Amino acid sequence: MARHKKEINIKLVAEEAGVSLATVSRVINNRTDVSEAMRRKVSAVVEKFNFAPTKGSERRINIGVIVVMDTSLVNEYISQVLDGVADYSDGGLLDVTVIFYRITPDAKPLLQLIRERRCDAVVLFPPERVTDQLPQLIESEIPVMLVNGSTNAPKMGFLNNESYTGAVKAMEYLAECGHTKIGFLCNALENSENHQQRLQGYLDVMAKISPDRKSGWIIPHQPTPETTEAGYNQCTQLLLTCPEITAVFCTNDEMAVGAVKACWDANLRVPEDISIIGFDDIPYGRYLHPALTTVRQPLTEFGYRAVKYLDELLKNQRAGLPCETLDTKLIVRDSVMNITGEKKQ
């Protein structure tokens, strides 16, 4: 008489892995009270048997969204990404756990937080502030989507923006308007590939239109609790040391908002006396006076796609996580004027 195949159940998984039923349950339910080595051992058996828990023990997918913050402020950049997350998850059978992560001496490791919150996958942004912890995430094999970063690690995908080409578009537009004496306000450059690319775009265009550029036209980042404050302080310094400047390119829109205020406080009209251009296209930029000319990156789309790709991966609707670099777009408004005093058509 033919032997029946053993039913694939949690008991068989435990026997094959040489562990207790409780340990298998902890791994399946993504509990924290099990070592990473044991988790990998049990997960290998689960994958070998293609074992899935019964409907009675299934739980909803939980995707963690980790926001790495250097201040306690939720800025417009963060808000737009989270808007995209909400757009995808709203009304769906999907749980989203948002974790605001501040790097402090007593901060828990990211992997520990992810396990404690029982996250099945993670969206992480901006990743450059926690590069030292990425190896642990890679080893854990938790699916991760990076936003505004890049990687070639297995089980990690990313969504990034064309920062360099966006910066070139902004600079070429200023050049078309007759500006050659252009200042640049840096945001944090260390470990930020995007910010470095924006500076490089500025340098490459300036090499063509203003080969005698002064080094003082680039103002290094001066960290402050609010990014707008940094833009104000750095632009104030630029105007004091380089009064010949006719335009300012800011690493992001929040710095540009501070720069506009610095110009007004220096009795310079924007754009009649000096032009300002930003990067990101934060929503309120269009309602400023003057409305802010900027480079748009698809932040809301980043949040939407990141969660969507992880959800599809966990539901076996896609084989792997994509690595995508989305285009940027120059948004022309009122904060830039032709050097002759006329608005460029």
Over residues 230-246, the pLDDT tens digits come to 999 999 999 999 999 99
CATH topology of domain 61-161+299-314: Rossmann fold (3.40.50)
CATH superfamily of 163-296: Response regulator (3.40.50.2300)
So where are the chain's domains? 10-57, 61-161+299-314, 163-296
The pLDDT of residue 56 is above 50: no
- Compare 29 and 1 and report the one with higher pLDDT: 29
Q: Please report how many Cα atoms fall inside a 13 Å half-sphere around the Cα of residue 4, on the Cβ side.
A: 3
Output the 3-class SS for the chain: CCCCCCCCCHHHHHHHHCCCHHHHHHHHCCCCCCCHHHHHHHHHHHHHHCCCCCHHHCCCEEEEEEEEECCCCCCHHHHHHHHHHHHHHCCCCEEEEEEEEECCCCCCCHHHHHHHCCCCEEEEECHHHHHHHHHHHHHHCCCEEEECCCCCCCCEEEEEECHHHHHHHHHHHHHHCCCCCEEEECCCCCCCHHHHHHHHHHHHHHHHHCCCCCHHHEECCCCCCCHHHHHHHHHHHHHHHCCCCCEEEECCHHHHHHHHHHHHHCCCCCCCCCEEECCECCHHHHHCCCCCEEEECCHHHHHHHHHHHHHHHHCCCCCCCCEEEECCEEECCCCCCCCCCCCCC
What number does CATH give the domain 10-57? 1.10.260.40
The pLDDT of residue 125 is above 70: yes
Over residues 198-211, the pLDDT tens digits come to 999 999 999 999 99
Determine the average pLDDT of the residues in 4-16.
Answer: 64
Tell me if 10-57 shares its fold with 61-161+299-314.
Answer: no
Which range scores top for mean pLDDT: 21-35, 49-63, 69-83, 241-255? 241-255
Q: Are 172 and 202 in contact (CB under 8 A)?
A: no
- Compare 117 and 329 and report the one with higher pLDDT: 329
The pLDDT of residue 26 is above 70: no
- Compare 220 and 14 and report the one with higher pLDDT: 220
The pLDDT of residue 44 is above 80: no
Q: b/e string for 121-140 if b means 16 or more Cβ within 10 A?
A: bbbbbbbbbbeebbebbeeb
Determine the average pLDDT of the residues in 313-335.
Answer: 94
Determine the average pLDDT of the residues in 169-191.
Answer: 95
- Residue 32: pLDDT band (50, 70, 90) is low
Determine the average pLDDT of the residues in 2-6.
Answer: 45
Q: What's the pTM value of the predicted model, to 2 decimals?
A: 0.82
- Compare 318 and 60 and report the one with higher pLDDT: 318
